[in-house]
Structure 1
Amino acid sequence: MIVARALLCLATFLVPGTLGFKTLNRASYTRLPTSINSNGADVFQGINYAAADGAAYDHINYIIYVIGTRNRLLHAIDVANPSSPLRILTHQFTEHEGNPQAVDVCGGRLAVALSAHVDVLEGHVQFFDVVARGSSVTDIHPDHTLAVGAHPKDLKHTPNCNMVLVANEGRPGKDDTNQYLNPEGSITVIVIDRNNDPTLRTIDFQQFNEGEANFNQNIRTPSRYIPKSVYSGTTTVAQDIEPESVVISNDGRYAWVTLLENDAVATLDLRTYQVTKVSPLPKKLWDTSPVDCSDLDGGVHRRTYAGLKSMRQPGKITLLQIGSKNYLITADVGGVTSYTSALHGFTWTDTITARSLVNSLMPDLVELKTQMTDNGFLGRLQVSTIEGNSLFDPRYTHVEMFGGRGFSVWDSTNMAAPTFDSEGTLEEYMDSYYHFLFNTDYAANRATTGSPANDRDTSSENQGAFVSGLDVMEDNGTVYMVAGTHGPGTLFLYMLNTVSTQPIPEFQSITRSGESEDIWNTLYTNKQLGDLRISDIGMIPSNQSPTGRPLVFVTATGSGSLGLYEIIDSTPIIPIVST
């Protein structure tokens, strides 16, 4: 087992007032079963079985709950000794109950969001009592099961535990009669009274439909571009809005919801149960910040492109309050919108290779045309078909890729521009410290022949090593943030300078667990795969930690694992860059 760590050595990145750096030290690694057989025994089928898709921490009992979406499992893991976690309980949801998508813990209550076995139908939220550490219970049973919107993707309690917000993504697909259905995206608000009895309210996005007072043509709605020759029906804005992740203010008055496919963030007033605004996010420019956009360029080649932009398309979102101001931090994931005959009854997508758009460029974009013709530059980059031109002129003035390949910090009252943008620095750190794993990712057809090292650069033409997990916390006056990448499974640790009126992330270290030279399947068998395809990150402050030291937990859907890390002091390491 190898846990590799690297720290930035340049003095310009030192945190003011400190003498050293912080880094992550892995305490333990737990591989979770991909299924349970009829005899109740664990089964480990392999990579990418979605055995660890999200987690929540109960700081009273030192238990982390981990959900597996595909296997419909919920695990309770005792982490009182972080170096030796103990799985004390596994609960199996039935097919009728659905597939767990999100989990949260608050005030002795465990909440799990479940999508229906037919994804377009209503989902549910189940509430359980938490498991007491040392308890002899072998299973748990829900106290309440409540119907919510279709495909509930995320849920969060308010800080006082009296309310739960559920982000219902409303994914389109076929219903149980094989008919196409596109449910509206929505937010379910569950209010829990002092007798622990819940009531529900639904917040929809119908006020943003065309013809309504709040219609905004700048809200990205890709499905409304489907040609009538492909799909003859009509898609409203409310149907095309797909809530992804939710965060709530410390006073419980406001919430913010990322709308990944729509490249926007919605603001909710929880006193009036209204969406007060949907804020389309500004584009990210790559004319001064280098980025690697090709998997066929012979290695790592980060370049600037004057005619290239990207949508941010935020996934995970977290919040930091400084004084009375709320700052949002978003993981700028990216994501295409695609329809297939099998799942939807027709075929359409909003993505295409940049090379395919060469003849549709404005004629004066000579340099961009040359770059888009070359597969070693932009030729294989996945770009949007519905950005960069207009209804009045089909020619493209620029091309836009999916996702920002990093994270952004926002003043919650002004989403017109981020207060901080990681730009291309995550790729820069990967290139400097993990050059041999730059933009690596797993592919099923490489399970027995490829390896993390051999498959370097394979995601550069898509969304790169995008941030798929993110969290922030304050611990004894220090604010930490961890961002985790999907394919490489790298963890970036920051300290946030809050001396000024705006938080400034200051890079501390980059960490990756696991080996890299053996083939993928061998690494999985030997429990050396690391945090492949990070799905969730949570941070545990010292006063809630079993050790009295700050901890980080990481779930990874590719490796089906739970990783535990300590934040420790460390000495800077000078990176050795190979070619």
Structure 2
Amino acid sequence: MRLGLCAVMGVLLGAGLCLAKGGDAPAGQFQLGATLQPLATIPMKSAEISAYMPEKKKLFVVGGDNLLEIVDLSDVAKPRVVRTVSLGGDASSVTVNGNLFAVSLLNAPEWKKGHVQVMRYTDSLEVLGFFEVCHQPDMLTFTPDGSALLVACEGSPDMNFHEDPEGGVAIVTAPKSGPWSRLEIAVAGFDGLDTASLMAQGVRRTGAQGFVKSLEPEYITVSPDSKTAWVSLQENNAIAVVDIAAKKITNVYPLGFVDHSVPGFGLDAKKNSKVEIANYPLRGLRQPDGISSFVVNGRPFVVTANEGAPVNDYKAWTDVTSLVMLSQQGRLDPKVFTPELVRDLGGISVSNLERCDAVPDMAPGGRCPYAYTFGSRSVSIFDGATGALVWDSGDMLERMIAKVAPDYFNWNAKKNKVKMDSRSEDKGCEPENVTVGEVAGKRYAFVGLERTSGIAVFDITDFGKTSNPSPRLVDYYLDPSDRGPEGVLFIPAEKSPNGTALLVVGYEYSKTLTIYNVK
């Protein structure tokens, strides 16, 4: 049985708390609430990002290799792969508009300019275009009106920073008819911005090169009127705003941090096989990967999944250190970071980039009373027009998982070994991606937690309707056989094959695709 019966055990964060296990622990399924109902799971060659074509009832799925799989959703309870397509490179993302779909393709090595492949799907496949677009194309999406294709050009360096192309956002004007052989491609860059001001506001400069080269677009969300795009700059802890018609980046907003010393915003910072969520003199840099957006009464909001992104993949540069090192360097206030606290938190990764000793009034004696960690283990909502923070979930996610699925609290699903608390020193539950959808008059944010592997659901219906919105964590679903949610795709009821809203999740580690009914 996919999901066992659930008994209500209490109230958690405004929602019913229930625990379901199928079979002997630690195997089984766990759920808070009843918003998500799993319909089917199928194995894939790879499963990360998916896009849906309503007219054909087909899903297009990519997963980091050179294959695209087409899944028939005519019967959502029995999805099946009907075709596998070889692509001209390793695919990083896929998007659909009408009967067209486009795939972003990485080059080898990845810092070189990559490509976009556009195809038409009818009774057969027709390649309409294959064109070079920008350095390291990552996420891509059509605008809602289909007039443009936007590509996040990450522009990451090579291992030694010998090659470090500038990142940007490619805006490809979609031809109204005919082949995609004659294209207008504009790459909106960051060179026209006041970089000194952005750094002073908290936009991070990472890497061994200049500030502009350190800005690396990751994920894109677009306003319903197709005029504005918001782009996550994960390592930089910021969001860029794009004027699509002007083909220009108009602003970059820093995303700030979560203060883990404040009640309601704690974390488990120790790897000791226990659940110990507490307050510490730590600040979690949000650094979102996936983002989404919605509009209420003309006011845009941006939702962020605050995964965290330490820069530790390069030989030439890193921003990762430890409290022990910062203490030895004399950068921490010894009255706050006592030898006992430094020892207790010795395993947690912190940033060496943020220097509060540069601001004397915030750091008495030139030593910091706090340190910065990567990722805030939370979901945030920002005002899309001003960049102001409106709401943050704090430690809701970690506390909920500790009650609903304690055996899987901060476990590392990538290794497929059930060892609770193994990720508490490294980004915790790790919110990876988020999408927003409306069901029966309610608006939900669906959040994939990468290493913990569950899907959390927040009711955000009251945003824009009250001056003090209070989202509720209404559901969480975890099946440990589905590991590493990467892409979360919402299909509204009016476009769904079965007339019911669906959530499609691609699980990177287990290479499975799971479809849920949304109630």
Q: TM over 0.5: same fold?
A: yes
Match for residue 105 of structure 2? 114
Aligned with 1:301 (options 276, 286, 300) = 276
Contact 1:358/1:369 (8 A) holds in 2 = no
- Whichever residue aligns with residue 108 of structure 2, its letter is H
1:185 and 2:167 matched: yes
Match for residue 297 of structure 2? 323
Q: Secondary structure at the match of 2:353?
A: coil
2: distance between equivalents of 1:286 and 1:214? 24
Tell me: CA distance 1:210–1:301, structure 2 relative to 1, closer, same or farther (3 Å).
Answer: closer
Contact 2:154/2:217 (8 A) holds in 1 = yes
- Whichever residue aligns with residue 500 of structure 1, its letter is T
The alpha carbon displacement at 1:361 in A equals 4.7
Match for residue 66 of structure 2? 72
Alignment of 1:414-453 (within 5 A): 414-416=386-388, 418-442=389-413, 444=415, 451-452=417-418
2: distance between equivalents of 1:308 and 1:279? 22
Match for residue 32 of structure 1? 44
1: distance between equivalents of 2:450 and 2:505? 12
1: distance between equivalents of 2:4 and 2:97? 34
Match for residue 343 of structure 1? none
Tell me: CA distance 1:362–1:152, structure 2 relative to 1, closer, same or farther (3 Å).
Answer: closer
Q: Secondary structure at the match of 1:488?
A: coil
Match for residue 238 of structure 2? 264
Aligned with 1:467 (options 431, 440, 458) = 431
The count of residues paired between Structure 1 and Structure 2 equals 491
1: distance between equivalents of 2:108 and 2:331? 47
Tell me: CA distance 1:86–1:2, structure 2 relative to 1, closer, same or farther (3 Å).
Answer: closer
Match for residue 475 of structure 2? 509
2: distance between equivalents of 1:11 and 1:353? 34
- Whichever residue aligns with residue 112 of structure 1, its letter is V
Tell me: CA distance 1:371–1:471, structure 2 relative to 1, closer, same or farther (3 Å).
Answer: farther
Aligned with 1:408 (options 347, 360, 380) = 380
1:59 and 2:30 matched: no
Q: Secondary structure at the match of 2:338?
A: helix
Q: Deviations over 1:450-508 (max 9, x none)?
A: x32xx111111011111112111123422122111011211112222234257642221
2: distance between equivalents of 1:363 and 1:76? 54
Match for residue 533 of structure 1? 484
Q: Deviations over 1:73-99 (max 9, x none)?
A: 100001121111010110112xxx321
Q: Deviations over 1:284-333 (max 9, x none)?
A: 101122210111x231111111x211110011110111010111101111
The alpha carbon displacement at 1:364 in A equals 4.6
The alpha carbon displacement at 1:347 in A equals 3.3
Contact 2:444/2:461 (8 A) holds in 1 = no
Match for residue 347 of structure 2? 380
1:280 and 2:243 matched: no
- Whichever residue aligns with residue 352 of structure 2, its letter is T
Tell me: CA distance 1:21–1:300, structure 2 relative to 1, closer, same or farther (3 Å).
Answer: closer
Match for residue 168 of structure 1? 153
Tell me: CA distance 1:298–1:440, structure 2 relative to 1, closer, same or farther (3 Å).
Answer: closer
Contact 2:202/2:256 (8 A) holds in 1 = no
Alignment of 1:142-291 (within 5 A): 142-173=127-158, 180-196=162-178, 197=180, 198-208=183-193, 218-223=202-207, 226=208, 235-287=209-261, 288=263, 289-291=265-267
2: distance between equivalents of 1:443 and 1:478? 33
Q: Secondary structure at the match of 1:314?
A: coil
Tell me: CA distance 1:502–1:85, structure 2 relative to 1, closer, same or farther (3 Å).
Answer: farther
The alpha carbon displacement at 1:348 in A equals 2.6
1: distance between equivalents of 2:373 and 2:407? 24
- Whichever residue aligns with residue 163 of structure 1, its letter is A
Most deviating of 468-477 and 554-563: 468-477
2: distance between equivalents of 1:102 and 1:371? 46
Match for residue 20 of structure 2? none
Tell me: CA distance 1:154–1:290, structure 2 relative to 1, closer, same or farther (3 Å).
Answer: same
Most deviating of 365-374 and 538-547: 365-374
- Whichever residue aligns with residue 410 of structure 1, its letter is F
Aligned with 2:89 (options 83, 91, 98) = 98
Q: Secondary structure at the match of 1:206?
A: coil
Contact 1:537/1:554 (8 A) holds in 2 = yes
Tell me: CA distance 1:443–1:361, structure 2 relative to 1, closer, same or farther (3 Å).
Answer: farther
Contact 2:55/2:98 (8 A) holds in 1 = no
The alpha carbon displacement at 1:11 in A equals 8.2
Q: Secondary structure at the match of 1:180?
A: coil
Tell me: CA distance 1:323–1:9, structure 2 relative to 1, closer, same or farther (3 Å).
Answer: farther
RMSD of Structure 2 on Structure 1 (CA): 2.5
- Whichever residue aligns with residue 138 of structure 2, its letter is K
Tell me: CA distance 1:11–1:303, structure 2 relative to 1, closer, same or farther (3 Å).
Answer: closer
Alignment of 1:352-367 (within 5 A): 352-361=321-330, 364-367=333-336
Higher relative contact order (CA 8 A, sep 6+): 1
Q: Name stretches of at least 5 consecutive residues in structure 1 with no aligned partner.
A: 34-50, 227-234, 341-345, 515-528, 569-579
- Whichever residue aligns with residue 310 of structure 1, its letter is G
Match for residue 11 of structure 2? 10
Tell me: CA distance 1:354–1:269, structure 2 relative to 1, closer, same or farther (3 Å).
Answer: same
Tell me: CA distance 1:184–1:21, structure 2 relative to 1, closer, same or farther (3 Å).
Answer: same
Q: Secondary structure at the match of 2:77?
A: coil
Contact 1:120/1:151 (8 A) holds in 2 = yes
Match for residue 35 of structure 2? 23
2: distance between equivalents of 1:371 and 1:60? 62
2: distance between equivalents of 1:85 and 1:190? 33
Contact 1:209/1:237 (8 A) holds in 2 = no
Tell me: CA distance 1:358–1:274, structure 2 relative to 1, closer, same or farther (3 Å).
Answer: same
1:559 and 2:510 matched: yes
**Percent of matched pairs sharing the same residue:** 23
The alpha carbon displacement at 1:413 in A equals 1.7
Give the TM-score, by structure 1 length. Answer: 0.80
Contact 2:286/2:307 (8 A) holds in 1 = yes
1: distance between equivalents of 2:120 and 2:352? 48
The alpha carbon displacement at 1:355 in A equals 2.6
Contact 2:291/2:305 (8 A) holds in 1 = yes
Q: Secondary structure at the match of 1:432?
A: helix
1: distance between equivalents of 2:340 and 2:143? 49
